[in-house]
Chain A
Amino acid sequence: MATLSAEFTLPLRSFALDLALDVGRTVALVGPSGAGKTSVLRAVAGLARPASGRIALDGETWFDADRGLFLHPDERRVGLVFQEYALFPHMSVRQNVAYAGKERADELLERFRITSLAKAHPTELSGGERQRVALARAIARDPGVLLLDEPLSALDAHTKAAVRGELQELLRELALPTLLVTHDYEDAASLADEVGVIVDGRLRQLASPQELVAQPADAFVASFTGANLLRGTASRAGQDLTRVQLESGEVIYSTDEAEGFVSAVVYPWEISVGREHQADSALNVIEAEVRSVVHVAHRVRVQIGPVIAEVTQASVDKLGLVTGARAVASFKATGTRLVPYA
């Protein structure tokens, strides 16, 4: 698979974007709004010209400040899906897709299940449909890199869950280097192999979602990447409970309804830690080895098996939590949310 490497500085209104990253599979940049996330995509797409640096897709150099090289967006093999999709309002769905590539239009309409909408205009479509059209249009150009700007934020909560699943499947099928930006850590963690936290134009940390939660580089990253995401398979368990067989071997329960592949979302501060299993209301109990103990601001993040719990220093001292010790993490089924994972 190709690799996009981008290393550049781009002066923005109140700060300068300054980052370096290699995108092999799917990388998500998360950060608060105004962090410069969209500008990263604009620079890679050629819609903004960085002051210095270099952007290249394998052997193809798209931008090189030292050589004075700057390819325009139409000269870069890039598929950019805009936040509000930017579908051409004066064209039908089919015309939108064919705009980027006539030959593949019908095939792509079929693939994205929008053949029946071919003659419709963007204003007549739902949010999810618009996104499918925007993706089909971006792919019609046969890009070497896919750029997604807040792919899920324009959707209502109900549509979002379904679209997230579709998107995961699509990204896996396409096997293109993909750079997406979002302000929602959960979206980032569910879609990407690597997540970068970006604040004021700088990349604070770039790591797998698990690593970010377990070992945040700083307090901001810690607060931003709140949740544990545990992948597994969901099935109905009766009594309004869903049973999730985790990939790591454990079984947990949730009050959310789901079936099939899911990510269970548990916030570290909702997990209590002990040395032994105690009978209480928490339905989910994971007994495992302590893998890491990391201090974050005034709290301590303890990784027990697959989950990270957040506790006070006093608790760590009282329980004698050190790497390698056995510990029990327990959390409630009501505090365990399930999001689809394709």
Chain B
Amino acid sequence: MQRLLLGFALFLAILVAFAFLVLPVVAIFTHVGPGTLVDQLSNPVVHDAVIVTLKTTLVAQAAILLFGTPTAWFLATRRFPGRSVLVTLVELPFVLPPAVAGIGLLVAFGRVGLLGSTFEFLHIDIAFSWVAVVLAITLVASPLYVRQAIAAFEAVDPNLVAASRTLGAGPVRTFFRVALPLARGGLAAGEALCLARSIGEFGATIMFAGSLQGRTQTLTLAVYQEFDSNFDTALAISALLVLVSLAILLALKLSALWQPSRQSSPSRFALLRST
């Protein structure tokens, strides 16, 4: 009897947990009919926000991969005094409240900021432009990629890197032929998390870039603006973002399968190949 009660309590707990997690997502799709959601997507606000989101996210990801990957490789493979300080600095924006990141960006790159006069001299006005969105996304989302990339590169057997060098390959060829392919699963996972965070970025962007339709208004910002004026549009954008998030999550799961086998442990790939 006692065991039955215990089992029932466990079942109830799991049910509540799942219901709580899934219900908000389900509600987005059921609050108004799917027809209304699809209709709302043709709203020019949505169209503009999709363009801004695509443009800023892609540029930010390119910047993160381009600058983050070599940084991660350096931090993963070198041991020097102050290394842990650098790693902490890289991780800092990850724990920083996004609004604080936004203020920081304003006083660093804004018109009255630290580098403001320099940018003014060069006739560059970053604040409240699409570039500001890119900077906000990059600052807030990049730690998710870099952290994961450091871990992925640290997991590459240093003997394989050393072997590459003794086989006549220079550091660049070693990086592209050995380190990068061996770390690619971890890098992809980090990039998927980073992408999800980028698309969801809100606080830093609205502080630093504002929410100007067609210029700086991303999908996430559009949800917030339409929430007051046109609730159905907000719902439609939200539904769209749920699907995008699901796709990213799927990519994250698949990236684990993309990891090439490590020499020391037999891998599922070896099994797959031999069948």
Binding site for B on A (CB under 8 A): 42, 45-47, 72-74, 76, 78-80, 82, 84-90, 99-101, 121-124, 137-138, 140-141
Contacts and interface: CB of A to CB of B under 8 A. Distances in A.
20 contacts: A46-B165, A46-B166, A47-B166, A72-B165, A73-B165, A74-B167, A74-B168, A76-B166, A78-B166, A80-B166, A86-B157, A88-B164, A89-B263, A99-B169, A99-B177, A101-B168, A121-B273, A123-B270, A124-B270, A138-B166
B160 interface: yes
Contacts of B168: 74, 100-101, 141
Given A90-B182, A90-B260, A99 B164 contact: yes
Contact of B165 (A47, A88, A121): A47
Contact of B159 (A78, A84, A122): A84
Given A82-B159, A99-B164, A99-B169, 12 more contacts: A47-B165, A72-B170, A73-B165, A74-B169, A84-B159, A84-B264, A86-B160, A88-B160, A88-B164, A89-B263, A90-B181, A121-B270
Interface of B: 157, 159-160, 162-170, 177-178, 181-182, 260-264, 266-267, 269-270, 273-274
A123 B166 CA distance: 22
A90 B165 CA distance: 17
A88 B166 contact: no
A89 B259 CA distance: 11
B163 A89 contact: no
Contact of B261 (A85, A121, A137): A121
Contacts of A122: 263
A128 to B, nearest CB: 16
Contacts of A45: 162, 166
Contacts of B264: 84
Given A99-B177, A123-B261, A123-B270, A79 B160 contact: no
B146 to A, nearest CB: 23
B231 to A, nearest CB: 51
A138 B165 CA distance: 11
Nearest to B174: A74
A78 B166 CA distance: 7
Contacts of B270: 121, 123-124
B162 A73 contact: yes
B182 A124 contact: no
- Ordered nearest first, which 9 A-B pairs have the shortest CB separation? A90-B260, A73-B165, A100-B167, A86-B163, A86-B159, A123-B270, A80-B166, A89-B263, A73-B166
Contacts of A124: 270, 273-274
A87 B181 CA distance: 14
A102 B42 CA distance: 56
Contacts of B162: 42, 45, 47, 73, 82, 86
Contacts of B165: 46-47, 72-74
Contacts of B164: 88, 99
A76 B270 CA distance: 34
A123 B263 CA distance: 6
A86 B166 CA distance: 11
A69 to B, nearest CB: 17
A85 B163 CA distance: 9
Nearest to B169: A74
B161 to A, nearest CB: 9
A99 B177 CA distance: 9
A121 B267 CA distance: 11
B219 to A, nearest CB: 37
